[in-house]
Structure 1
Amino acid sequence: MPKLTKYQRRITWSTGIGFILERMDAMFMSLALASIIITLHISKAQGGLLPAITAIGSIFGGIGFGALADRYGRVKTLCWTIIIYAIGTAGMGLTNSFWMLCLFRIIIGVGNSGEYGIAITMLSEAFSKKYLGRLSAAAGVCGQVGSIVASLLSAFILPRFGWHVLFFIGIIPVVLAWFIRFHLPESKEFTENRDAIEKDPNRDFSHWTELFATPAECFLTIRIMIMFMIHIAGYNGLISWLPSIAQERMNISVAGSSLWMIATIIGMSLGIMCFGIVQDHLGSRLAYGIWLLAAAASVFLLIIAQNKLEFLIGGGIVGFCSDGMYSGYGTIVSKLYPTEIRATANNTIMSIAKSVGSFSTVLIGFLMDHFSLMAVILFLSGIYLVSFVIMLSIKELKHENKAPVTTTENAEKVAQ
């Protein structure tokens, strides 16, 4: 890989800090969930609603900010979203009301909705596509660093100061992200495309409905969306409830479960890096085939484990297999969709998928309340197998490094 330019380094830092923020929020919510349930005297199903309801803000923010990023710029849009995110995070530390927590989770969802899709789009426009799998993976590992930092902070803060202080601490990286992105220029690819659209009266900025404009585009978009939805359902289910499972099944303390999560996160980091390398060298179809089947099998380790050491090792393996694919979805979308709709595609697909997939925490909370842990494991294994079958049906992945699919307007030009 060639030496990075100053612009590429800044884009890499910007993307990395965005992924750190996204995963820190998810981890704070996960590790504070048990304390919030006790403090507010709510059920596990209600507790599962807190991380899940973030999706309401995410779906509207994702679609809207994706279109804004394609029209006004990726950097400007991310600077707007980070301010909204800061407001929601601060609000989490100020209230003891369950319904106010729900409101602030929705605000966080709006602010956080642009991080994954727009950040990956910026990477894809700053680097050659042949490096995109590894670069996306590196950004994903940054997210896991955020998870580790969040776990360590939770282990120290939760037993001593409570979950309100924990969320106040989450504002610090938000300020850092804003300063990194301030004055960051837009990519040459984006500015040239925007200028061309503004000069041509026959062209207009893309709209999210173009993702569904033809049967082929609609079918492609929906399948990628379902795959990412399943990934989010599995990740959120594991990351939100595994600390509680560890606390109950292995009699681990809150601080102990935070430290135990680090082993799982390290496994996730290794999985993401390995997946990125395989995706770049062997293609997305083979990479996803390996990881999805491994994820479906590995979740049973959480049932097989009989002591703390086995549970620790099993958690690392599950993390490696279940979350290794995370950054790969943005790579696929960035390769298969053209510049004029790339941010819209990434954000729309990812936000809708995250919104639906996030409600797995409610379903898993219900399964834990009314059934056994085996029911949860069967559910997780089953959805990974469904994703595997869907992935095999996406024939476009066989030619992912060729020209991206065209929008309806481009298709008409080709036909002429």
Structure 2
Amino acid sequence: MNTYEQNKNDRRALVAAIIASGMDDLNVMFLAFSMSTIITQLNLTSAQGGWIGTITNFGMLFGGVVFGVLADRYNKFKVFKWTVIIFSVATGLVFFTESIGYLYLMRFIAGIGVGGEYGVAISIMAGIVPQERMGRISSLNGIVGQVGSITSAILAGLIAPLFGWRGLFLFGLLPLVLVIWMHFAVDATHVSDSGRQTTNSASTSKGRIADLFKTKALMHQTLALMVMTTVQIAGYFGMMNWLPTIMQANIGVSVSGSSAWMVTTILGMCLGMLVFGQLLDHFGPRLVYGVFLCCSAASVYCFTFAKTGPQLLIGGAILGFFVNGMFAGYGAMITRLYPYEVRTVANNTILNVGRAVGGFSSVIIGMILDSSGVPTVMLFLASLYVISFVFMMSLPNLKQARYIKHGQSASKASSVAVAPLAEI
């Protein structure tokens, strides 16, 4: 019996986990669309404004670790609901901002919820979805995140002119509607969680961060994946935060032209995620990540030579396809590389370290632009993907982390792809 297709409670839990990912992206992007107004109205320096995003990233790292541990030790779906409540309420409370200190506090708390939500949502999906579909489901999760970003842009255009940036953040309370629906529509105690039945309930290693570094091989795996996620975030921020500015300043592209570039790039991202998920399920992460990382390095460097409007649009779509198409695969890959006992804490810790460190790429790119110029920036970004490729190839477990095919038993495939903590 295929419980994924027949269990209504699981289907509702899966839908909630996917939708929440779009809602947390919507909340995070509110800051991007209101930053300049916040700096002006609160009379902030650029450095003070920059710290708003940095503090949010630190909150994500803290929340990822804390809620990763809690979800691996207790009921994942109940913990998941609390992460959504936290980032929703904290985002809505930004409406009452009168000082920069208050805004820092609210963004840190919102970051705690967002950082915790991602890994818990991925673990809920992995507990429900058969392994041969996990890549595709992770891709859908990433695409919904992009939809959340687009929705944030639309709301910013409609609401901010009428109610100001504070009114925009008040709409951050919308995910509470999802929480109310989850409370009445989903029985948290009966959401499927594959792996739980094979785990020793008396295990003392459940949900411990130390277990991500328990042996030399596991430490290498964890650190290598952190490097890969750092490159993923750094490349994304570099592409989305700086390339439109670079095009406007150095190529003479208008604001509307850079907006069109942004749209085609996001569409390329969504298509890339969709294709990546399909390939990941069929060929496993080593081959697919290898191809996408190499193509990312090449496409970023080649974008340096794009000068005309059509070249910029096509180049942006190709960039989005390869550079961010990979993002959705990390949840599926990390889930396969770590045992059930630390499934959530591994996802949250690895991704949020990448967010915290990779977020500094915007500062580094700004420094390179001041000292060298655009070609050096593009060479820097391209080299990041080469570094990620080297670390990815150093992970021996990726050779076995193929996903379950139809007709193969879950227990057999799991024994190949995921070794117990003591054996890694």
Question: Structure 1 residues 324, 45: CA separation in 2 closer, same or farther (over 3 Å shift)?
Answer: farther
Give 1:102-141 correspondences, 5 Å limit.
102-141=104-143
Q: Partner residue of 1:95?
A: 97
Give 1:10-409 correspondences, 5 Å limit.
10-40=12-42, 42=44, 46-95=48-97, 97-158=99-160, 161-172=163-174, 174-182=175-183, 183-185=186-188, 186-189=191-194, 192=197, 196-197=200-201, 200=202, 203=204, 205-245=206-246, 248=249, 250=252, 252-253=254-255, 260-300=261-301, 302-368=303-369, 371-401=372-402, 402=413, 403=415, 404-408=418-422
Q: Distance in 2 between matches of 1:348 and 1:64?
A: 9
1:291 offset after TM fit, Å?
1.1
Q: Secondary structure at the match of 2:127?
A: helix
- Contact kept, 8 Å, 1:49 with 1:359, in 2: the verdict is no
Question: Structure 1 residues 204, 251: CA separation in 2 closer, same or farther (over 3 Å shift)?
Answer: closer
Question: Structure 1 residues 110, 4: CA separation in 2 closer, same or farther (over 3 Å shift)?
Answer: same
Deviations 1:133-177 (A, max 9, x none): 1111111111111122122223334455543332222322x1233
Normalising by structure 1, report the TM-score: 0.87
Q: Distance in 1 between matches of 2:44 and 2:375?
A: 24
Structure 2 gap segments, 5+ residues each: 403-412
Q: Distance in 2 between matches of 1:239 and 1:6?
A: 38
- Contact kept, 8 Å, 1:264 with 1:316, in 2: the verdict is yes
Q: Which stretch of the first structure deviates more once superposed, 352-361 or 202-211?
A: 202-211
Question: Which amino acid counterpart does residue 50 of structure 1 have in structure 2?
Answer: I
Q: Distance in 2 between matches of 1:206 and 1:51?
A: 28
1:352 offset after TM fit, Å?
1.9
Q: Which one scores higher on RCO, CA 8 angstroms, separation ≥ 6? A: 1
- Contact kept, 8 Å, 1:65 with 1:114, in 2: the verdict is yes
- Contact kept, 8 Å, 1:151 with 1:261, in 2: the verdict is no
Q: Distance in 2 between matches of 1:27 and 1:346?
A: 22
Deviations 1:321-363 (A, max 9, x none): 1100111111111111121221121122222222222222333
- Contact kept, 8 Å, 1:78 with 1:118, in 2: the verdict is yes
Normalising by structure 2, report the TM-score: 0.86
Question: Structure 1 residues 141, 162: CA separation in 2 closer, same or farther (over 3 Å shift)?
Answer: same
1:311 offset after TM fit, Å?
2.9
1:205 offset after TM fit, Å?
3.1
1:251 offset after TM fit, Å?
5.3
Deviations 1:234-280 (A, max 9, x none): 11232333454455554544x77556422221111001001111111
Q: Secondary structure at the match of 1:206?
A: coil
Q: CA RMSD in A?
A: 2.7
Q: Which stretch of the first structure deviates more once superposed, 232-241 or 37-46?
A: 37-46
1:25 offset after TM fit, Å?
3.1
Q: Distance in 2 between matches of 1:28 and 1:259?
A: 20
Question: Which amino acid counterpart does residue 106 of structure 1 have in structure 2?
Answer: F
Question: Which amino acid counterpart does residue 327 of structure 2 have in structure 1?
Answer: Y
Q: Distance in 2 between matches of 1:41 and 1:316?
A: 37
Q: Which stretch of the first structure deviates more once superposed, 352-361 or 72-81?
A: 352-361
Question: Which amino acid counterpart does residue 398 of structure 2 have in structure 1?
Answer: L
Q: Distance in 1 between matches of 2:130 and 2:347?
A: 18
- Contact kept, 8 Å, 1:48 with 1:361, in 2: the verdict is no
Question: Which amino acid counterpart does residue 340 of structure 1 have in structure 2?
Answer: E
Q: Which stretch of the first structure deviates more once superposed, 270-279 or 92-101?
A: 92-101
Question: Structure 1 residues 151, 308: CA separation in 2 closer, same or farther (over 3 Å shift)?
Answer: farther
Question: Structure 1 residues 95, 309: CA separation in 2 closer, same or farther (over 3 Å shift)?
Answer: farther
Structure 1 gap segments, 5+ residues each: none
1:313 offset after TM fit, Å?
3.0
- Contact kept, 8 Å, 1:44 with 1:365, in 2: the verdict is no
Q: Secondary structure at the match of 1:138?
A: helix
1:405 offset after TM fit, Å?
2.3
- Contact kept, 8 Å, 2:64 with 2:117, in 1: the verdict is no
Seq. identity, %: 37
1:95 offset after TM fit, Å?
2.3
